[in-house]
Protein backbone atom coordinates (compact mmCIF):
# COMPACT_ATOMS: atom_id res chain seq x y z
CA UNK A 1 0.00 0.00 0.00
CA UNK A 2 2.94 2.33 0.69
CA UNK A 3 4.01 2.27 -2.97
CA UNK A 4 0.47 3.11 -4.08
CA UNK A 5 0.35 6.02 -1.61
CA UNK A 6 3.68 7.34 -2.87
CA UNK A 7 2.68 7.19 -6.54
CA UNK A 8 -0.69 8.87 -5.99
CA UNK A 9 0.81 11.66 -3.89
CA UNK A 10 3.49 12.26 -6.53
CA UNK A 11 0.94 12.63 -9.35
CA UNK A 12 -1.22 14.88 -7.16
CA UNK A 13 1.79 17.10 -6.41
CA UNK A 14 2.59 17.57 -10.10
CA UNK A 15 -1.00 18.48 -11.04
CA UNK A 16 -1.27 20.88 -8.11
CA UNK A 17 2.04 22.56 -8.91
CA UNK A 18 1.16 23.19 -12.55
CA UNK A 19 -2.21 24.74 -11.82
CA UNK A 20 -0.88 26.74 -8.85
CA UNK A 21 1.18 28.81 -11.32
CA UNK A 22 -1.89 29.47 -13.49
CA UNK A 23 -3.95 30.52 -10.47
CA UNK A 24 -1.30 32.93 -9.16
CA UNK A 25 -1.18 34.65 -12.54
CA UNK A 26 -4.98 34.69 -12.76
CA UNK A 27 -5.37 36.10 -9.27
CA UNK A 28 -2.92 38.92 -9.95
CA UNK A 29 -4.54 39.77 -13.29
CA UNK A 30 -8.14 39.67 -12.03
CA UNK A 31 -7.45 41.20 -8.60
CA UNK A 32 -9.43 38.43 -6.88
CA UNK A 33 -8.55 37.64 -3.25
CA UNK A 34 -10.49 34.36 -3.51
CA UNK A 35 -8.23 33.27 -6.37
CA UNK A 36 -5.05 34.47 -4.66
CA UNK A 37 -6.13 32.76 -1.43
CA UNK A 38 -6.75 29.55 -3.33
CA UNK A 39 -3.42 29.94 -5.16
CA UNK A 40 -1.64 30.48 -1.86
CA UNK A 41 -3.34 27.42 -0.48
CA UNK A 42 -2.35 25.46 -3.57
CA UNK A 43 1.23 26.58 -3.02
CA UNK A 44 1.18 25.06 0.47
CA UNK A 45 -0.57 22.03 -1.02
CA UNK A 46 2.22 21.56 -3.51
CA UNK A 47 4.81 21.80 -0.73
CA UNK A 48 2.77 19.49 1.50
CA UNK A 49 2.28 16.90 -1.25
CA UNK A 50 5.98 17.08 -2.14
CA UNK A 51 6.89 16.55 1.53
CA UNK A 52 4.40 13.69 1.74
CA UNK A 53 5.99 12.07 -1.33
CA UNK A 54 9.40 12.49 0.29
CA UNK A 55 8.11 11.03 3.54
CA UNK A 56 6.78 7.92 1.79
CA UNK A 57 10.08 7.59 -0.04
CA UNK A 58 12.06 7.88 3.20
CA UNK A 59 9.72 5.51 5.05
CA UNK A 60 10.70 2.73 2.61
CA UNK A 61 14.20 2.71 4.05
CA UNK A 62 14.82 -0.27 6.33
CA UNK A 63 15.38 0.00 10.07
CA UNK A 64 18.97 0.33 11.29
CA UNK A 65 20.84 0.50 14.57
CA UNK A 66 20.09 4.22 14.93
CA UNK A 67 16.43 4.02 13.90
CA UNK A 68 15.26 0.63 15.17
CA UNK A 69 11.62 1.20 14.18
CA UNK A 70 12.52 2.45 10.71
CA UNK A 71 11.43 5.79 9.26
CA UNK A 72 7.63 5.45 9.23
CA UNK A 73 7.28 8.09 11.96
CA UNK A 74 8.60 10.71 9.51
CA UNK A 75 5.21 10.61 7.76
CA UNK A 76 3.57 11.67 11.06
CA UNK A 77 5.99 14.58 11.38
CA UNK A 78 5.08 15.70 7.86
CA UNK A 79 1.37 15.43 8.72
CA UNK A 80 1.97 17.68 11.74
CA UNK A 81 3.79 20.24 9.58
CA UNK A 82 0.95 20.10 7.05
CA UNK A 83 -1.53 20.93 9.80
CA UNK A 84 0.55 23.94 10.83
CA UNK A 85 0.84 25.21 7.24
CA UNK A 86 -2.93 24.87 6.81
CA UNK A 87 -3.42 27.00 9.91
CA UNK A 88 -0.98 29.67 8.75
CA UNK A 89 -2.53 30.01 5.30
CA UNK A 90 -6.00 30.26 6.85
CA UNK A 91 -4.82 33.06 9.16
CA UNK A 92 -3.31 34.88 6.15
CA UNK A 93 -6.62 34.60 4.26
CA UNK A 94 -8.50 36.05 7.25
CA UNK A 95 -6.03 38.92 7.56
CA UNK A 96 -6.19 39.75 3.86
CA UNK A 97 -10.00 39.45 3.82
CA UNK A 98 -10.30 41.95 6.68
CA UNK A 99 -8.20 44.44 4.70
CA UNK A 100 -10.26 43.90 1.54
CA UNK A 101 -13.55 44.43 3.42
CA UNK A 102 -12.29 47.77 4.70
CA UNK A 103 -11.06 48.86 1.26
CA UNK A 104 -12.75 46.84 -1.55
CA UNK A 105 -10.91 46.78 -4.86
CA UNK A 106 -11.86 46.08 -8.46
CA UNK A 107 -12.24 42.44 -9.47
CA UNK A 108 -12.25 41.13 -13.06
CA UNK A 109 -14.95 38.53 -12.61
CA UNK A 110 -14.70 36.99 -16.10
CA UNK A 111 -11.08 35.73 -15.93
CA UNK A 112 -11.64 34.89 -12.25
CA UNK A 113 -14.56 32.62 -13.14
CA UNK A 114 -12.76 30.62 -15.82
CA UNK A 115 -9.62 30.16 -13.75
CA UNK A 116 -11.70 29.09 -10.74
CA UNK A 117 -13.54 26.52 -12.87
CA UNK A 118 -10.18 25.17 -14.08
CA UNK A 119 -9.01 24.97 -10.47
CA UNK A 120 -12.12 23.06 -9.47
CA UNK A 121 -11.56 20.50 -12.23
CA UNK A 122 -7.90 19.99 -11.29
CA UNK A 123 -8.75 19.68 -7.60
CA UNK A 124 -11.48 17.13 -8.31
CA UNK A 125 -8.97 15.03 -10.28
CA UNK A 126 -6.38 15.29 -7.49
CA UNK A 127 -9.04 14.47 -4.86
CA UNK A 128 -10.07 11.34 -6.77
CA UNK A 129 -6.43 10.25 -7.06
CA UNK A 130 -5.82 10.66 -3.31
CA UNK A 131 -9.06 8.94 -2.30
CA UNK A 132 -7.66 5.77 -3.88
CA UNK A 133 -4.86 5.79 -1.29
CA UNK A 134 -4.89 4.53 2.31
CA UNK A 135 -7.22 6.86 4.26
CA UNK A 136 -5.96 5.57 7.63
CA UNK A 137 -2.54 7.04 6.89
CA UNK A 138 -2.17 10.47 8.54
CA UNK A 139 0.08 11.67 5.75
CA UNK A 140 -2.64 10.89 3.20
CA UNK A 141 -5.26 12.47 5.47
CA UNK A 142 -3.18 15.64 5.57
CA UNK A 143 -2.90 15.69 1.78
CA UNK A 144 -6.64 15.08 1.35
CA UNK A 145 -7.46 17.91 3.77
CA UNK A 146 -5.24 20.26 1.78
CA UNK A 147 -7.04 19.33 -1.44
CA UNK A 148 -10.46 19.67 0.21
CA UNK A 149 -9.46 23.18 1.23
CA UNK A 150 -8.56 23.87 -2.40
CA UNK A 151 -11.89 22.48 -3.57
CA UNK A 152 -13.71 24.81 -1.20
CA UNK A 153 -11.54 27.69 -2.37
CA UNK A 154 -12.36 26.98 -6.02
CA UNK A 155 -16.10 26.75 -5.28
CA UNK A 156 -15.94 30.01 -3.31
CA UNK A 157 -14.13 31.73 -6.17
CA UNK A 158 -16.73 30.50 -8.69
CA UNK A 159 -19.62 31.73 -6.52
CA UNK A 160 -17.90 35.08 -5.93
CA UNK A 161 -17.25 35.53 -9.65
CA UNK A 162 -20.88 34.77 -10.53
CA UNK A 163 -22.17 37.21 -7.91
CA UNK A 164 -19.81 39.97 -9.10
CA UNK A 165 -20.76 39.37 -12.74
CA UNK A 166 -24.44 39.62 -11.89
CA UNK A 167 -24.48 42.37 -9.26
CA UNK A 168 -21.03 44.01 -9.22
CA UNK A 169 -20.85 43.49 -5.43
CA UNK A 170 -17.12 42.85 -4.83
CA UNK A 171 -17.22 42.30 -1.01
CA UNK A 172 -18.54 38.79 -1.73
CA UNK A 173 -14.97 37.87 -2.71
CA UNK A 174 -13.35 38.35 0.76
CA UNK A 175 -16.51 37.19 2.57
CA UNK A 176 -16.43 33.77 0.92
CA UNK A 177 -12.67 33.61 1.50
CA UNK A 178 -13.35 33.96 5.24
CA UNK A 179 -15.77 31.01 5.17
CA UNK A 180 -13.18 28.87 3.41
CA UNK A 181 -10.50 29.90 5.93
CA UNK A 182 -12.69 28.87 8.88
CA UNK A 183 -13.29 25.42 7.35
CA UNK A 184 -9.55 25.06 6.69
CA UNK A 185 -8.77 25.93 10.32
CA UNK A 186 -11.17 23.26 11.56
CA UNK A 187 -9.56 20.58 9.39
CA UNK A 188 -6.08 21.72 10.41
CA UNK A 189 -6.95 21.45 14.10
CA UNK A 190 -7.94 17.78 13.82
CA UNK A 191 -4.82 16.95 11.80
CA UNK A 192 -2.54 18.68 14.32
CA UNK A 193 -4.34 17.00 17.23
CA UNK A 194 -4.07 13.48 15.79
CA UNK A 195 -0.46 13.78 14.64
CA UNK A 196 0.74 15.41 17.87
CA UNK A 197 -0.97 12.64 19.87
CA UNK A 198 1.20 10.09 18.06
CA UNK A 199 4.36 12.21 18.34
CA UNK A 200 3.75 12.50 22.10
CA UNK A 201 3.51 8.69 22.36
CA UNK A 202 -0.22 8.77 23.16
CA UNK A 203 -2.13 5.49 23.30
CA UNK A 204 -3.90 4.49 20.06
CA UNK A 205 -7.62 5.29 20.25
CA UNK A 206 -8.66 1.62 20.01
CA UNK A 207 -6.40 0.49 22.89
CA UNK A 208 -7.56 0.82 26.50
CA UNK A 209 -5.00 -0.57 28.91
CA UNK A 210 -7.71 -0.95 31.57
CA UNK A 211 -9.56 -3.35 29.27
CA UNK A 212 -6.33 -5.27 28.59
CA UNK A 213 -5.58 -5.55 32.32
CA UNK A 214 -9.06 -7.02 32.96
CA UNK A 215 -9.25 -9.23 29.86
CA UNK A 216 -5.95 -11.13 29.81
CA UNK A 217 -6.06 -12.83 33.27
CA UNK A 218 -9.61 -14.02 32.57
CA UNK A 219 -8.82 -15.44 29.13
CA UNK A 220 -5.39 -17.01 29.70
CA UNK A 221 -4.90 -19.99 31.98
CA UNK A 222 -2.15 -19.59 34.55
CA UNK A 223 -2.01 -15.80 34.25
CA UNK A 224 -2.66 -13.89 37.48
CA UNK A 225 -2.26 -10.24 36.49
CA UNK A 226 -0.65 -7.82 34.05
CA UNK A 227 1.03 -4.57 35.07
CA UNK A 228 3.02 -1.66 33.64
CA UNK A 229 1.09 -1.60 30.36
CA UNK A 230 2.39 1.01 27.91
CA UNK A 231 0.78 1.53 24.50
CA UNK A 232 1.77 3.89 21.68
CA UNK A 233 2.05 3.82 17.91
CA UNK A 234 4.71 4.46 15.29
CA UNK A 235 1.92 5.30 12.81
CA UNK A 236 -1.83 4.70 13.06
CA UNK A 237 -1.22 1.40 11.25
CA UNK A 238 1.55 0.27 13.65
CA UNK A 239 0.39 0.14 17.30
CA UNK A 240 2.94 -1.00 19.88
CA UNK A 241 2.60 -2.32 23.44
CA UNK A 242 4.74 -3.49 26.33
CA UNK A 243 3.63 -5.13 29.58
CA UNK A 244 4.72 -7.23 32.54
CA UNK A 245 2.73 -10.39 33.26
CA UNK A 246 2.68 -12.49 36.44
CA UNK A 247 1.83 -16.18 36.19
CA UNK A 248 1.32 -18.95 38.72
CA UNK A 249 4.38 -20.89 39.87
CA UNK A 250 3.10 -23.96 37.99
CA UNK A 251 2.49 -22.19 34.66
CA UNK A 252 4.71 -22.63 31.58
CA UNK A 253 6.03 -19.09 31.02
CA UNK A 254 6.64 -19.55 27.30
CA UNK A 255 3.09 -20.82 26.75
CA UNK A 256 1.65 -17.91 28.74
CA UNK A 257 3.74 -15.41 26.76
CA UNK A 258 2.57 -16.83 23.42
CA UNK A 259 -1.04 -16.84 24.62
CA UNK A 260 -0.82 -13.19 25.66
CA UNK A 261 0.57 -12.13 22.28
CA UNK A 262 -2.07 -14.12 20.42
CA UNK A 263 -4.85 -12.57 22.53
CA UNK A 264 -3.47 -9.07 21.98
CA UNK A 265 -3.41 -9.69 18.25
CA UNK A 266 -6.88 -11.19 17.87
CA UNK A 267 -8.81 -9.13 20.43
CA UNK A 268 -6.95 -5.79 20.44
CA UNK A 269 -5.34 -5.81 16.96
CA UNK A 270 -1.80 -5.34 18.30
CA UNK A 271 0.74 -7.14 16.13
CA UNK A 272 3.87 -5.94 17.93
CA UNK A 273 3.96 -6.53 21.69
CA UNK A 274 6.89 -6.96 24.08
CA UNK A 275 5.79 -9.23 26.94
CA UNK A 276 7.82 -9.94 30.08
CA UNK A 277 6.34 -12.93 31.94
CA UNK A 278 7.38 -13.69 35.52
CA UNK A 279 6.20 -16.10 38.19
CA UNK A 280 3.92 -15.09 41.04
CA UNK A 281 6.79 -15.27 43.50
CA UNK A 282 8.64 -12.55 41.54
CA UNK A 283 5.69 -10.19 42.03
CA UNK A 284 5.73 -10.77 45.79
CA UNK A 285 9.43 -10.04 46.14
CA UNK A 286 9.42 -6.96 43.90
Using an 8 Å Cβ cutoff, are 61 and 148 in contact? no
**Residue 284: count of CB within 10 angstroms of its CB:** 8
Residue 40: per-residue pLDDT: 65
Q: Which residues of the chain have pLDDT under 50?
A: 286
CA-based radius of gyration for the chain:
25
Residue 44: per-residue pLDDT: 67
For residues 116 and 18, state if they share a domain. yes
pLDDT 10s digits, 124-177: 888 888 887 776 676 677 778 777 777 877 888 888 889 988 988 888 888 888
3-class SS at 241?
Answer: strand
Residue 274: per-residue pLDDT: 92
Is 204 part of any domain? Answer: no
Mark which of 199, 231, 258 sits at the end of a domain.
Answer: 199
For residues 131 and 22, state if they share a domain. yes
Residue 122: per-residue pLDDT: 85
For residues 109 and 158, state if they share a domain. yes
Residue 13: per-residue pLDDT: 82
Mark which of 180, 199, 218 sits at the end of a domain.
Answer: 199
The domain in which residue 233 lies consists of: 209-285
Give the DSSP per-residue string, 99-160. HHHHS-----HHHHHHHHHHHHHHHHHHHHHHHTS-TT-HHHHHHHHHHHHHHHHHHHHHHH
| Strand intervals (E) in the chain | 223-233, 239-247, 272-279
Q: Which residues contact 145 (CB under 8 A, 6 or more apart)?
A: 82, 86, 187, 188, 191
Give the CATH number of the domain where residue 116 resides. Answer: 1.20.1510.10
For residues 134 and 238, state if they share a domain. no
Q: How many domains does the chain have?
A: 2
Amino acid sequence: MGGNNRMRVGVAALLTGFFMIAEIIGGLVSGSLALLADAGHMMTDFAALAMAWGAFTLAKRPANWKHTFGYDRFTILVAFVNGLTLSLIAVWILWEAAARLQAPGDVLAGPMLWIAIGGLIVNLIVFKILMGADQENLNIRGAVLHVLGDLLGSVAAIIAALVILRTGWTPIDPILSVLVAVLILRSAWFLIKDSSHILLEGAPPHIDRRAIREDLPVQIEGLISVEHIHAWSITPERPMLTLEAFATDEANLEVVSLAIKERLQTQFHIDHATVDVMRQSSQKTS
